[in-house]
Amino acid sequence: MAAHSSATKVTRRNIEVMAAALPVDDRQDFDDAGRGLVGRAEERQVRTDDGRVVWDLDAYDFLRDTVARDTANPSLWRQGQLLVEDGLFEVVPGIYQVRGYDLSIMSIIEGESGVIVIDPLVTKETARAAFSLYTAHRGERPVRAMIYTHSHIDHFGGVKGIITEEQVAAGDLQVIAPQGFMHHAIAENVFAGTAMARRAGYMFGAALERGPTGQIGTGLGQTTSTGETTLIPPTVDITHTGQTLTIDGVEIAFQLTPGTEAPAEMNFYFPQHRALCTAENTSHTLHNILTIRGAVVRDAHAWAHYLTETLDLWEAELEVVFASHHWPTWGRERAVEFLAMQRDMYLYLHDQTLRLINQGYTGAEIAEMIEVPPTLEQQWHTHGYYGSVSHNVKAIYQRYMGWYDANPANLWPHPPEILAVRYVDAMGGRDAALAVARRAWDEGDYRWCAEVGKHLVFADDADTEARSVLADALEQLGFGAENGTWRNAYLAGATELRMGNFGTPATAASADLLGALTVAQVFDSIAIRIDGPRAWDEHLRIAWRITDEDTTYLTELRNGAFNHRVVTATPESVSAFTLTRRTLIGLVTGTVDVSAALRDGTVGLNGDPAILDRLVALLAPVDPDFNIVTP
């Protein structure tokens, strides 16, 4: 069957039932998303210096002024319509936002002589374009400070589109971030980066066509830009709640919120404007307790707790709340209610999941049982466009209970391919199993159709009929999904079943991110690439004198495990390399040639030059193109 099927009668009916319960008369978000518009860009594409388009402001024009087709959930369609409202907006006099230029948005606070920029988007090209839209309307003003609200790349990656390392080094401006920012900004990509990037291709739908049968957004923003990600390390850490700064005449009071939406995150308040920035701790969606690209599970309880503290700190005076995704909420009453509703949602999911866990239910069961209170359901911003009640409940279960549901039948099942062969056999063989899948399709039970289809494809991935049935089922699930990341994942799976593996569409870590690795992180990243079985019989000890840190590390490979520690002196008879942290990173990433570096003295060596080759020979490649919907 060809791609881009239409919605079935069942999907259309499911969508109609769902749509009937939506608060369609509440049009406030459209007023808010358009409020304060100063101007839009005439140039609609953002390009790299050599002309490649990294962002297209008109890519989602099909959403504008239309009703959802039956191949899309109208609630998600509406969210996309709100998110494509691009331009420079005045939040209150002195506070501006550029929205529609990336997954995230940028805020700009005007001071006495210059500006403070909050969260410079994902890549330097979109950040530059967004900031130039600001200056086109408000004039050239020097940047006095850059604030990163948290450690996710869509909140710092575009920094070099606006400021330079030289400006920061010269002390012309401060770069402000929550404590722990650098560690977490880099750490997330060290251990599981390759797999997360491949899975992000499913979650964001980067390889999908934009259009009513394809990618229509991700709920948080439409998608991510594809330019260059950059990083300039912070110069000022926010270490505690109650800390204040005055920059260029602008007073800022901070609330540290570690372990919420990100491990290092903060909210902050501008008393002169009565304006609160909530980073990504509140947004116009139910956010992720666990993102489906994969991550360490977040703490819904801490998240809710910090929002209560936010209310405690500023509910008596704030007049507007804005964040680094979506549009602001104006008026104290509405803003406070918005914050409280967001808090209630995370707290309710957390507490009710635990109530049901303690009644013996498992994540998969609770996800189907849990009912969101009607008062929350009647708010648009509590709907699951990015996170979902279903996968957040499973995440909360995972945080407290882990992957195992305590049923010993699930303690040691066969792995997927072996299970698949056995299930297909148990259903009476391939033809009978295919008939089961087709019957499920005819009955509109696409979840069961996908389950059976999954086993058929894992039993024989060359079975084109099975692939087609599974692709069709995933596609219908995608068309019906209110959640943008679910839709993208379903449609990405259908696409790969029909057209083959699209690999990892997004680029890997940039030079700036790699360059920010600490020495310990470099050794950790080597350790996870050691091919264990091949290394069983090796015993290697190497000393690394890092000149710019005046520190010596001793690494040791034994039993296939590569450990590292700081030592006060190089032990006897251990080969020692002398180099800078940057050169070490270059050696590992392949931008520095070992023998050339040894010849020209960039790397010093006291000992056996062959020892490095022995280590490198044990490194295994990563696979950014691993299979997901096929074995």
Name the site residues for Zn ion (rule: CB under 5 A). 104, 152, 154, 280
State how far the Cα of 306 lies from the Cα of 559, in Å rounded to an integer: 44
CB-CB contact of 118 with 322 (8 Å): no
To the nearest 10°, the Cα dihedral for 474, 479, 482, 488? 60
In single-letter form, the type of residue at position 30 comes to F
Looking at beta carbons only, is 265 or 472 nearer to Zn ion?
265
The alpha carbon of 477 is separated from its chain's Cα centroid by a whole number of angstroms, namely 22
In single-letter form, the type of residue at position 551 comes to T
What is the closest distance, in whole angstroms, from the C-beta atom of residue 122 to Zn ion in the complex? 9
State how far the Cα of 380 lies from the Cα of 22, in Å rounded to an integer: 8
Looking at beta carbons only, is 104 or 510 nearer to Zn ion?
104
Specify the DSSP element, H or E, that contains 576: strand 575-579
State how far the Cα of 100 lies from the Cα of 60, in Å rounded to an integer: 11
Query: Angle at which helices 430-442 and 464-480 pack, to 10 degrees?
Result: 20
DSSP label of 150 = B
Q: Identify which of 290, 375, 285 has the alpha carbon closest to the alpha carbon of residue 323.
A: 285
CB-CB contact of 189 with 509 (8 Å): yes
- Which residue's Cβ has the minimum distance to Zn ion? 154
Q: What 3-state class would DSSP assign to 601?
A: coil
Paired sense of beta strands 87-92 and 115-118, if any: unpaired
Looking at beta carbons only, is 291 or 352 nearer to Zn ion?
291
What separation in angstroms does the CA of 426 have from each of 322, 423, 440, 450? Answer: 55, 5, 17, 17
What is the closest distance, in whole angstroms, from the C-beta atom of residue 151 to Zn ion in the complex? 10
Helix-, strand-, coil-residue percentages of the chain, each rounded to 5: 40, 15, 40
Q: Identify which of 79, 162, 80, 57 has the alpha carbon closest to the alpha carbon of residue 120.
A: 162
What is the closest distance, in whole angstroms, from the C-beta atom of residue 372 to Zn ion in the complex? 23
CB-CB contact of 241 with 267 (8 Å): no
Please list, in sequence order, all residues whose beta carbon lies within 8 angstroms of the beta carbon of residue 200, skipping any fewer than 6 positions away: 206, 293, 504, 506
CB-CB contact of 473 with 453 (8 Å): yes
Q: What is the largest CA-CA distance in the chain?
A: 77
DSSP states along 349-371? HHHHHHHHHTTT--HHHHHHH--
What is the closest distance, in whole angstroms, from the C-beta atom of residue 260 to Zn ion in the complex? 12
State how far the Cα of 364 lies from the Cα of 546, in Å rounded to an integer: 49
The separation between the first and the last C-alpha atoms of the chain, rounded to the nearest angstrom, is: 21
Q: Identify which of 284, 362, 386, 264 has the alpha carbon closest to the alpha carbon of residue 325.
A: 284
| Tokens read off for 228 | 């260059």
CA angle 613, 619, 623 (to 5 degrees): 145
State how far the Cα of 325 lies from the Cα of 268, in Å rounded to an integer: 15
Looking at beta carbons only, is 161 or 493 nearer to Zn ion?
161
